[in-house]
Structure 1
Amino acid sequence: MTRPRAAAVPAPPVPLSGTSADQVPRRRRRPVGVYLLLIPATVAMVVGLGYPLARQLVISFQKYGLAQQFGRPAQWVGLNNYTKLLTDPYVWGVIARSIAFCLVNAVVTMAIGMALAVLMAKVGRAARITLQVGMLLAWGTPVLATMTVWQWLFDSQYGVVNWVLAEPLGMDGMRYHSWLIQPMSFYFVATVIVVWMSVPFVVFTVFAGLLQVPEETMEAAELDGAGGWQRFWLITVPMVKPVLFVVGLLQVIWDLRVFTQIYVLQRAGAPTRETHLLGTYIYSLAKEFSMAGAMATIMLVLTLALTGFYIRRMLREEEL
């Protein structure tokens, strides 16, 4: 009688050379060449941004005016410039107006830009091209040329806006209304101009994000009974949320440091002191370089605080 053979036991896998079974695989190191490629951009940023910021910070701690431009040594005053600015109620009013103007403009720009982007994605090819050309013309027009047109539109005697309000709409009190005299109407005109010039960037960026939303997902949601509004808020917006966060962050930064539009409107006859924002107020301190440097540093800290809060919220939304 033959004896039954024992079942063959498979041999344990042979570990790769240089490794052991309990050894944790190491993370691959990035080649040094990747970091070397960052050197030109880093040097350009340090030279172009680092030195001016450092110089501005040093001047903000000195008494630096026109005399120092001709060789007189600057006197070190420490935090005196910051104390003088931060104890002035008018400076806090300028800061509050700047933050309010920034947030209102950013919200209105994002709302109108998203609406036009969705419209551009829904209309036909001819209408879409027409919208794109109009947006490019509005976006590509030089700022000063745009300001000239808007000043004519809101002119108190020959403006089209006053004529439309007075003649077709019957508002006789608006016939010779001056939009730039009162601060509230001044900021309304400034908001219209800033939003009109900022919307095209939001439209093109959000429209590019909408093109990445899968049509199969939208069709499946429609078959499940989701309406157009539900598909937009529950599917489209979450998918393009990273794009919206980045565009919104850029709008906050740009609207906080707006200068040209406010300065040109002030030169057109607006009361300067009642309509100052951070950019124009810093420009008004040009004769006192140290005070202007301190105010610019405060503006930088405020910008970093707003953007830091925005970035933390963006990261928190991505983790959910």
Structure 2
Amino acid sequence: MMTSLTSAHEAAPSAVTDERIIAPEPPPARSGRRKRAGGLTPYMLLVPSVAVLAAIIGWPLIQLFIMSFQDFGRAQVFGAPAPFIGLDNYAKILIDEAFWQVLLRSFAFCAVCVVATMILGTLIALMMMRLGRFFRLLLSVGLLLAWAMPALTATIVWGWIFDTDYGVVNNVLVNAFGLDFVQHSWLINPLSFFFVAAIIVIWGAVPFVAFTVYAGLTQVPDEVLEASQLDGANSFARFRLIIYPYLKSIFLVVIILQVIWDLRVFTQIFALQGIGGIKDQTNTLGTYIYQVSIGTGQYGIGGAIAVITVIIMMAISLYYVRQSIKDEEL
């Protein structure tokens, strides 16, 4: 008996030793450069779309950039050589007071539209969370109809609503409120012109914001909102302290897109100018580039203005990309 215990005792260290020998080695430390799954396959799949974008967007941008350094007019459209003039087009623009007025006007109009669109779209999204299924579906259909309407069609319809002789707005203000708006022209005055233009732009952009924010609101945990409500937080406090942090990335994306879209708005302004607006007093960047290029035939100067606009858009997009990268790192 003693012999068996002794042999078992002596065998224990060897078993432990054997177990240590056959134990698997720890996995190697991860290197700084990760090997992407799939190898070159994802990049090869991107080649067709990148080629299409390069042909449709990249090549025209290169041509625009080259044109901005040339004396390019109507003669060059019909084959005349375009002399290279360096930065002369940009110098003419930067000392032109009309360009700076248009730029400031565009930024002011964009700021008003973006703020109003974000506020209205967010309020509608919050209302959709409280509505019943039937009314939420009815509201969604109405928003989709407004969103699907082409910008030119919407501008013509709103132009009829604000028409000088037969407009609904003038008729209501005169007959219902007794105001002196008989044959009032909304498009002659630049301030009222942009008021009408802002209504059209906001009316068409609110559905996108409402649907996007509503989709984000459905992902906010109900338990957190109920707990905050039990703690006595009002609606504004719940939105500021709970909902907004959850939807911060969504708000950032939507705001950046709205800034880009509203800064380069063209159809609504151009159509309203055709109805009755004064072009020199109501130009934004889009219509100003069109009038300089097509109206006066100064394609080189128009190209330089377009390049400046592209640089502004790229700066805004770069800010969005940097913020997205910071959020991913957090």
TM-score w.r.t. the length of structure 2 is: 0.89
For the pair 1:38 / 2:43, whether they are aligned, the reply is: no
Who is 2:101 aligned against? Answer: 93
Alpha carbons 1:60, 1:294 under 8 Å: kept: yes
For the pair 1:83 / 2:91, whether they are aligned, the reply is: yes
For the pair 1:175 / 2:175, whether they are aligned, the reply is: no
Deviates more, 1:250-259 or 1:204-213: 204-213
Who is 1:212 aligned against? Answer: 219
2:264 to 257, 265, 283: 257
2:119 to 111, 114, 138: 111
Who is 1:58 aligned against? Answer: 66
Offset at residue 42 of structure 1 (A):
1.2
Query: Could you say if the C-alpha distance between residues 318 and 160 of structure 1 is closer, same or farther in structure 2, counting changes exceeding 3 Å?
Result: farther
Deviates more, 1:191-200 or 1:226-235: 226-235
Deviations 1:222-281 (CA, angstroms, capped at 9, x unpaired): 233333322222111211221111111110110000000000110111111011100000
Query: Could you say if the C-alpha distance between residues 13 and 119 of structure 1 is closer, same or farther in structure 2, counting changes exceeding 3 Å?
Result: farther
Looking at structure 1, the residues matched to 142 and 28 of structure 2 have their Cα atoms a distance apart, in angstroms, of: 62
Offset at residue 78 of structure 1 (A):
0.7
Alpha carbons 2:165, 2:183 under 8 Å: kept: yes
For the pair 1:295 / 2:305, whether they are aligned, the reply is: yes
Query: Could you say if the C-alpha distance between residues 29 and 151 of structure 1 is closer, same or farther in structure 2, counting changes exceeding 3 Å?
Result: closer
Alpha carbons 2:147, 2:204 under 8 Å: kept: yes
Deviations 1:163-201 (CA, angstroms, capped at 9, x unpaired): 2222222222x2222111111111111101100011011
Q: Which amino acid aligns with 1:41?
A: S
Q: Which of structures 1 and 2 has the bigger CA Rg? A: 2
Aligned residues: 316
Deviates more, 1:198-207 or 1:225-234: 225-234
Who is 1:24 aligned against? Answer: 29
Q: Which amino acid aligns with 2:194?
A: Y
Who is 1:166 aligned against? Answer: 174
Give the secondary structure class of the aligned counterpart of 1:61.
Answer: coil
Looking at structure 2, the residues matched to 66 and 167 of structure 1 have their Cα atoms a distance apart, in angstroms, of: 52
Alpha carbons 1:109, 1:198 under 8 Å: kept: yes
Looking at structure 1, the residues matched to 21 and 265 of structure 2 have their Cα atoms a distance apart, in angstroms, of: 67
Looking at structure 2, the residues matched to 231 and 319 of structure 1 have their Cα atoms a distance apart, in angstroms, of: 26
1:141 to 135, 144, 149: 149
Give the secondary structure class of the aligned counterpart of 1:181.
Answer: coil
Give the secondary structure class of the aligned counterpart of 1:106.
Answer: helix
Looking at structure 2, the residues matched to 255 and 103 of structure 1 have their Cα atoms a distance apart, in angstroms, of: 8
Who is 1:129 aligned against? Answer: 137
Alpha carbons 2:253, 2:320 under 8 Å: kept: no
Looking at structure 1, the residues matched to 112 and 149 of structure 2 have their Cα atoms a distance apart, in angstroms, of: 23
Looking at structure 2, the residues matched to 106 and 78 of structure 1 have their Cα atoms a distance apart, in angstroms, of: 36
Offset at residue 315 of structure 1 (A):
5.3
Q: Which amino acid aligns with 2:85?
A: V
Deviations 1:122-145 (CA, angstroms, capped at 9, x unpaired): 111111111111101111112222
Alpha carbons 1:15, 1:21 under 8 Å: kept: no
Looking at structure 1, the residues matched to 324 and 179 of structure 2 have their Cα atoms a distance apart, in angstroms, of: 45
Could you tell me which runs of 5 or more consecutive residues in structure 2 were left unpaired when the two chains were aligned.
none
Looking at structure 2, the residues matched to 124 and 167 of structure 1 have their Cα atoms a distance apart, in angstroms, of: 37
Query: Could you say if the C-alpha distance between residues 167 and 314 of structure 1 is closer, same or farther in structure 2, counting changes exceeding 3 Å?
Result: farther
Offset at residue 108 of structure 1 (A):
0.8
Percent of residue pairs identical: 46
Alpha carbons 1:186, 1:275 under 8 Å: kept: yes
TM-score w.r.t. the length of structure 1 is: 0.91
For the pair 1:49 / 2:54, whether they are aligned, the reply is: no
The structure richer in helix per residue is: 2
Give the secondary structure class of the aligned counterpart of 1:77.
Answer: coil
Who is 2:242 aligned against? Answer: 235
Give the secondary structure class of the aligned counterpart of 2:20.
Answer: coil
Offset at residue 48 of structure 1 (A):
1.2
Who is 1:187 aligned against? Answer: 194
Q: Which amino acid aligns with 1:280?
A: T
